Amino acid sequence: MKFIKVVNSIANRLPFSEGVTLTFIRAVPSELRRSVILSCSNSVIMISGVGYTCGPPWTYPSPRVKRLVFGLIDNDSAMNELKVSNWLSKNNILASKVIDVCKLESNELELLDIYSDPYFLDGTSVVPSAFVSTITIPYFVKDTPCLKENWRAAFLNHFNCASLDNAFEYFGIRLANNIRAYQLLGAVNDCLTSDCITIAGELFEFDRFLMPEADFLVSGISISRMLRQKREFYLYLSVMLDAAEMAGVTTSISTIVNFASTNICNNSKQLCGFELELQKFLAN
């Protein structure tokens, strides 16, 4: 698989790689199909932007308008991942942590059968880059490449629960309050999907995560931003249904809504879009 050679090449030139053994685990089941999971001592890291990781073919045209090759990332997007990651970390939002961004070298692109400078469809040149992240646990909510028994064992172990029903409840409460936390700060996550959230409730991949608007501290959450935040309540329900399927638990929308109602974000009197849509749902 070509992308593994790219991963190995990038891993060998990371600042912390000297004397450290990085072990390939598997590809990340994200929508963009561009990341892999590695183990490093007691840590779990991901390298993203290494080419198409589900195939063949390994270099595959992307359905996204501006992407030349599925699985590659331009440097501006990679730096945005770093910027969002730093903001999330600063505000204690549960998410993966980007620790490095590195440009792909010509020999690494050749491993993906790319022998000329990549460019967008409009002719703009691309500087392909990869970003390296750390996560708590290497399992995602919708994680089809892994065995369900491994997923469920990790789910139980992470929440220190004897039953999957209890772990499912704790996960639902944690995810809902993680969403509240960044929404109350004026942000919204348009990429809240089951393959971009770990079973620890961590966010991963921020290409559609919108940080607070410039005038948020003065004007609060804008009407357009509030509408996007409200939509995220329904994305949350979808993620929870996927989690229930993976965990093998029986649930209902009303049960999930009860989990979401457990609000531990008491640092603001302002209501975010998620909370407003939740209250509207409960009222109906």
Query: Mean pLDDT throughout 186-193?
Result: 93
**Distance of alpha carbon 32 from its chain centroid, rounded?**
11
Query: Mean pLDDT throughout 250-254?
Result: 96
Predicted confidence at residue 268, as pLDDT, reads 59
Query: Mean pLDDT throughout 231-254?
Result: 97
Q: Which residues contact 172 (CB under 8 A, 6 or more apart)?
A: 240, 243, 256, 259, 260
User: pLDDT per residue over 208-222, tens digit each?
Assistant: 899 998 888 778 889
Query: Mean pLDDT throughout 143-169?
Result: 93
- What are the residue ranges spanned by the domains of the chain? 2-135, 148-283
Q: Is the pTM for the entire model greater than 0.85?
A: yes
Predicted confidence at residue 178, as pLDDT, reads 96
- Say yes or no to pLDDT of 280 above 60: yes
Query: Which one has a higher pLDDT value, 86 or 25?
Result: 86
Predicted confidence at residue 124, as pLDDT, reads 75
Predicted confidence at residue 256, as pLDDT, reads 97
Share of the chain above pLDDT 70, in %: 89
User: pLDDT per residue over 99-123, tens digit each?
Assistant: 999 999 999 988 888 888 777 767 7
**Distance of alpha carbon 198 from its chain centroid, rounded?**
8
What is the dihedral angle through the alpha carbons of 139, 186, 170, 258, rounded to the nearest 10 degrees?
Answer: -130
Query: Mean pLDDT throughout 166-178?
Result: 97
The answer to whether residues 191 and 209 touch, using CB atoms and an 8 Å cutoff, is yes
Predicted confidence at residue 119, as pLDDT, reads 73
State the Cα–Cα distance between residues 80 and 78, nearest whole angstrom: 5
The answer to whether residues 187 and 209 touch, using CB atoms and an 8 Å cutoff, is yes
Query: Which one has a higher pLDDT value, 250 or 4?
Result: 250
Q: Which residues contact 130 (CB under 8 A, 6 or more apart)?
A: 6, 10, 47, 48, 49, 50, 73, 78, 101, 102, 104
Query: Mean pLDDT throughout 249-257?
Result: 96
Query: Mean pLDDT throughout 146-154?
Result: 92
- Terminal-residue alpha carbon distance, the chain: 51
- Say yes or no to pLDDT of 71 above 80: no
Phi, psi of 207, rounded to the nearest 5 degrees = -65, -15
Average pLDDT, the chain: 87
pLDDT band at 29 (very low <50, low <70, confident <90, very high): confident
pLDDT band at 16 (very low <50, low <70, confident <90, very high): confident
Query: Which one has a higher pLDDT value, 53 or 102?
Result: 102
Predicted confidence at residue 65, as pLDDT, reads 44
Asked, as a colleague might, if the bond just before 56 is cis with ω within 30 of 0, I would say yes
Predicted confidence at residue 49, as pLDDT, reads 87
